[in-house]
Amino acid sequence: MATTEEVKKRKRLSPALRRLLILKLWLVERFRLRERQATLIWATFIGFCGAMLSEGFRKVSELLHYLGTGSDAGLIEAFRQLPPWQRLAVPTIGSLLAGLTLWIGSRLIASVRQKSTTDYMEAIVVGNGLISIRASLVKIISALFSISSGASIGSEGPLVQLSSLFASLVGRFRNLPVPQRRHLVACGAAAGIASAYNAPIAGAFFVAEIVLGTVVVESLGPLILASVIATFTTRAMHGEGALYRSPDLDLHTRWELIPMLFLGPVLGFLAPVYMRLLRSVELLFTKLTIPVPFKLGIGGAVVGTIAIFYPEVCGNGKGLLVSLFHQNWFSDEILLLLVVKLIATSVTFGSGAVGGVFTPTLFTGAALGTLYGQAVLYFAPGLQPDPVIYGLVGMGSFLAATTGAPLMAILMVFELTLSYSIVPLLMVACVLGYYGNSIFEKRFLYGESLERKGAAFFNQQLAEISILDLIKRDPLTLPKNATFAEIAQTFVQHQFQHVYIVDKDKRLLGAVSLHDVKSFLDRPELQTVVIAADIMNENFPRVSPLQGMGEALRTFSAVQAERLPVVDNLSSQRLIGSISKTDLIIHLAGDQGALKTALSGAS
């Protein structure tokens, strides 16, 4: 039998084993996978998968484009080869199919109560990081029909939607908390932008600046990782290269800086006109009381009609952009194409086609900038300006003005041109363009949509809950003849700001506020002289379950109180409970778990 000393010896660790254990503890402590590191790993995965999905979308789109036009050339080139009737028919039929997809999709999905959104911005900013799979697929299929048939709309929208949806699924599958889910969806969006434009920095900053509204490292790190991985993946399949490798900026004279400096404000002033055009046409379509497929069909028919004469209007404008920078266009040609492209884009966008206006916006800015450059060349030939440089700087400036994201615009144009020499002028033009637009417009392209969706989401959240869902029963009450001593004791024992005063039938008579009495709680002389009826506020706001939560929120905003008394109805005034501002905020934040804990904790 082992002695006590032997047992102790056995229990004692050898020095080597002890050192190994210390090392293990040190390693675990230093390299334990925390939430931040886990997000980076997921961001990498999402970046890769986002790019692959974008590639899949492109391939399917190319296949549909081939089936529609019988050509595997680019959209503009394929349309040039088509006879006039087919130039009209392809976008019209494609748009009708896109509309039909949306119409059928909305019928199918309407029967299922949606707990998630279809919009990635909404999911990141105001939602719970969940994106509806069915609704997203409907939008993506619809976008495939529109884009492959030559609609004048950007493909970046569905690409971002697809990779954001994937990121949302990752968050859902891993059962991650809401903030992390939102962050992953943001990574998906960055990957989508990066793979669409071969622009990793701009992809990350697009989401950071426009969607998140912050460029702090904490949130930017995973975005950068996702967009860089997405770009590398896309480059592995398509090769590297800038959209337009700009010539080095060569100012023949420093006087050229003067017209260059005016370019930003000029385009900044024109940006509101562009945004109002898009809005007006959209409004016009909303007034049409016809089914969605016909609305999109009208959009497609308009594009098709224009394409009979100008096939260049087909597609998102990327081909046009490349052509603008590589060919020496005359100003009247640029102006004409700008006008028809604007009509085609506004009609496509306004009809409700799924897609983005990012690339069409780039083209509009580039065309306006080039026109400005040609005007400078005409009026001041001695400056020997290169209109292409003006086009590039104008593109960034217009993008900054319309999106309200100058940093992203600078980086986007830099990545599209890979020319460092234009960056200083580009920076000035982007900032001036942004401020120029801000004089007339307070809302930007993406902000406006987000604002609308945010308000709708907020109203929906409010509409989904009733006062009875948040009520805490049996609140603390006192009779109207309760002495000051009893009131003081109640405030000392419970951390409430108000004590409700009721009559024998539980009818709410008013509330005594801690704020009113706190300076007198230590006055023994008041203990029997003052009663609740002397100091209660008879007009203390109250709500009833018959009212909506929006009404409760308005009542909260009118009074400085954490809780509001709930009466059965406003005529009988019988007190049945109270609701708390914190519980309402928790509900609006979408944290149902915390809400349940808060409500059960009080009962």
Partner 1 sequence: MTDLKAVDYLRKAEFIKNLEAVSDIQAIDTMLSALSHKPEVADAAELRRAVFERQKMDPPLLAGGTAIPHARTDSVRSVVTAIATSRFPIMFGETPVRLMFLIGVPNAAVGEYLQITSFLARNLRGGHLLDRLMNAENIQQFVAAFAEG
Which residues form the interface with partner 1 (CB under 8 A)? Answer: 480-481, 513, 516-517, 519-520, 523, 525-526, 529-531, 533-535, 537-539
- Select 19 or 523, whichever has its Cβ closest to partner 1: 523
Minimum CB separation from partner 1 for residue 487, in Å? 11
- For CA atoms 174, 178, 183, 186, the dihedral sign is positive
Q: At its nearest, how many Å lie between partner 1 and the CB of residue 524? A: 9
Shortest distance, position 581 Cβ to partner 1, whole Å: 23
- The minimum distance between CB 539 and partner 1, in angstroms, equals 8
Q: Which is nearer to partner 1, 519 or 571 (CB)?
A: 519
- Shortest distance, CB of residue 536 to partner 1, whole angstroms? 9
Q: How far is the CB of 555 from partner 1 (least distance, A)?
A: 19
Nearer to partner 1, 174 or 515 (CB): 515
Distance CA 275, CA 357 (A): 11
428-465: b or e for each residue (b if 16 or more CB lie within 10 Å)? bbbbbbbebbeeebeebbbbbebeebbeebeeebbeeb
Q: Which is nearer to partner 1, 223 or 536 (CB)?
A: 536
Residue 200: alpha-carbon gap to chain centroid: 18
Q: Which is nearer to partner 1, 29 or 522 (CB)?
A: 522
**Cβ contact 261:329 at 8 Å:** no
For 537, the 3-state DSSP assignment is: strand
Instruction: Give the residue with the Cβ less far from partner 1, 29 or 525.
Output: 525
CB of 489 to partner 1, least distance (A): 17
| Residues 342, 153 contacting (CB under 8 angstroms) | no
| Token couple for 496 | 């409430």
Q: Are 572 and 507 in contact (CB under 8 A)?
A: yes
CB of 355 to partner 1, least distance (A): 59
Question: Residue 413: how many CB atoms within 10 A of its CB?
Answer: 32
Helix or strand holding residue 558 (H, E): helix 549-558
CA atoms of 551 and 122, how far apart (whole Å): 24
The pair of structure tokens assigned to 370 is 């080039």
> Of 533 and 553, which has the nearer Cβ to partner 1?
533
Distance CA 297, CA 314 (A): 15
- Which positions ≥6 away from 468 have C-beta within 8 Å? 545
- H helix runs in 149-207, sequence order: 156-173, 178-197, 200-205
Rounded Cα gap, residues 472 and 484, in angstroms: 26
Q: CB-wise, 442 or 523, nearer to partner 1?
A: 523
- In the bound state with partner 1, the residue whose beta carbon lies nearer, of 529 and 570, is 529
The answer to whether 543 and 579 have CB atoms below 8 angstroms apart is yes
- Tell me how far, at minimum, the Cβ of 490 lies from partner 1, in Å: 16
CA 346 from centre of chain: 21
